[in-house]
Amino acid sequence: MESQALEQAKEIDRKKSAGETLGALAGTTVAIKDNMATIGVKTTCASKMLENWIPVYDATVVKKLKEADAIIVGKTNLDEFAMGSSTENSAFKTTKNPHDTSKVPGGSSGGSAATVAAGAVTFSLGSDTGGSIRQPASLCGIVGVKPTYGRVSRYGLVAFGSSLDQIGPFARNVSDAATLLDVLSGYDPMDSTSINKEYKPLTDVLGSDIKGLRVGIIDELKGPQGFQREVLDAVDETAKLLEKNGATVGNVSIPASAYGLSAYYIIAPAEASSNLARFDGMRYGLRVEEQSAALTNEATRQAGFGMEVKRRIMLGTYALSAGYYDAFYAQAQKVRTLMINDFKQAYENFDVLLSPTSPTTAFGIGEKTQDPYQMYLADVCTLPTNIVGATSMSVPVGVDDNGLPIGVQVFAPPLGEEVMFQVASAIEEQANYNAVPVVGAF
């Protein structure tokens, strides 16, 4: 990694002195969640299964970063195979929140969020299946975006829930996030779900007037159970600030979102159980040699996967098995359709929607590790966006009584990134929260 970074830096110096045009990200450093393939550099997914796997190709997003003259300086920690909300499910290390090192940074892209918040890099990449970019962004006081499904290529991203996964940016402000997403977006023939469309640069919409825009606060995503008072207040205050700037604010119901968590924890594990079948000890990754192929497969998976990954594989396999498929998987897919329809209806009356990003600010390391359900609840506000294939982002707006960052989530319909960034930049300007690097935290 180090030698590639130095080479890339030298190449940028050369281009500069030769008077060549520099890429949009020249002069910036980027860290990449360790579930995206980087040629010649280990890509572990924070799993013993891939501890020594060195990809022979770059993910499309990595290629795009290099072409835009960014310098990739590191891979970041995550919950194993991106399953988790605190980065404590990593097989290797626990990442800490730079604002308070006794707290988690969120997850699963906790390493990517913490490193940007700490000022170690300009940007980072995360992946978001149910909230893994937005929730850690919120807990670390930075901006995190889950783009519309299909906007950013998934080629080279190690698959978790393929119908939900999407790569997106972390940055310390909305404008940086727009710059990075502009580089990442675009059609890729290597990803069959990639959208073939030209995108208007998001950097062009920043700072434009929000007068007349209609903002809806989602009824179902404001508790009261389990939601921190200060977080709910921050959403109301944000809505007031937008109103002051000419937006109209109302309440909106997304009735099916009440079933979002249940549907997600059927669909995501079902897809994961299928995707993770490839780790069989035969082709790449860990191999625990036994007398037969079946025993090798069993021993490899036993040794290579952590507890949470095994739990998901079991849940998913069960939900897909004969006799249970209709009651679980098929039912969850119906909820998915209901949620798509509910959101469609909401957008007949509103341009963007608002909710907390996370029900609470950063929680303590070890606080939820013994209670998977409590951990799953951390994503109750973020996972609806993945279920419906739309876009949303977290914008930092302030801190709670303990000085821990609070994020507000802005939702827009599929391919509604323009209006979402327009509102996010208005929020950033009004809230006046400055994500200064938390230097010296570790």
Give residues in contact with ligand GLN (CB under 6 A): 82-85, 108, 128-132, 160, 268, 379
Amino acid at 228: Q
Burial class (CB in 10 A: 0-12, 13-18, 19+), 14: exposed
Which of 47, 90, 108, 394 is catalytic? The answer is: 108
3-state secondary structure of 5: helix
Nearest to ligand GLN of 126, 281 (CB atom): 126
Q: Which is nearer to ligand GLN, 85 or 238 (CB)?
A: 85
Query: CB-wise, 128 or 176, nearer to ligand GLN?
Result: 128
* Choice between 133 and 205, CB closer to ligand GLN: 133
Q: Decide: 418 and 391 in contact? Cβ < 8 Å.
A: no
Q: What are phi and psi of 383, to 5 degrees?
A: -70, -25
Residue nearest ligand GLN, Cβ-based: 132
Catalytic residue among 47, 112, 124, 132: 132
Tokens of 392: 């949303």
Among residues 31 and 239, whose Cβ is nearest to ligand GLN? 31
Question: What's the rounded Cα separation, in Å, for the pair 397 and 292?
Answer: 57
Which is catalytic among the residues 33, 48, 64, 368?
33
Strands 143-146 and 391-399: antiparallel
What is the residue type of 16? K
Burial class (CB in 10 A: 0-12, 13-18, 19+), 414: buried
Q: Which residues pair with 409 in a beta bridge?
A: 355, 394
- Please state the closest distance from residue 159 (CB atom) to ligand GLN, in A: 11
Residue 176 structure tokens:
């940086």
Q: Smallest gap, in angstroms, from Cβ of residue 266 to ligand GLN?
A: 12
Annotated catalytic residue 132: yes
For residue 1, count other CB atoms closer than 10 A to its CB: 14
Shortest distance, CB of residue 83 to ligand GLN, whole angstroms? 5
Strand partners, 169: 125
Could you tell me if 217 and 354 are in contact, meaning their C-beta atoms sit under 8 angstroms apart? yes
Name the DSSP letter for residue 152: B
- Minimum Å gap between C-beta 371 and ligand GLN is 14
CA angle 410, 412, 417 (to 5 degrees): 95
Tell me the closest approach of the beta carbon of residue 355 to ligand GLN, in angstroms: 16
* Cβ 220 vs Cβ 254: under 8 Å: yes
User: Which CB atom, from 108 or from 175, has the smaller least distance to ligand GLN?
Assistant: 108
Beta carbon of residue 208, minimum distance to ligand GLN (angstroms, whole number): 30
Phi, then psi, of 250 in degrees rounded to 5: -145, 180
Closest CA to 109 of 161, 46, 163, 176: 46
One-letter amino acid for residue 335 of the chain: V
Q: How many CB atoms lie within 10 A of CB 370?
A: 8
Report which of 42, 124, 39, 49 is spatially closest to residue 83, judged by C-alpha positions: 49
Q: Is 33 a catalytic residue?
A: yes
Which of 315/424 has CB closer to ligand GLN?
315
3-state helix, strand, coil in the chain (%, to 5): 40, 15, 45
- Structure tokens of 88? 């404590």
> Residue 269 Cβ, how far from ligand GLN at the closest point, in Å?
8
Cβ 90 to ligand GLN shortest distance, Å = 13
Using the minimum distance from each CB to ligand GLN, give the nearer residue, 215 or 381: 381
Which pair of structure tokens corresponds to residue 257? 């979102």
Catalytic residues: 33, 108, 132
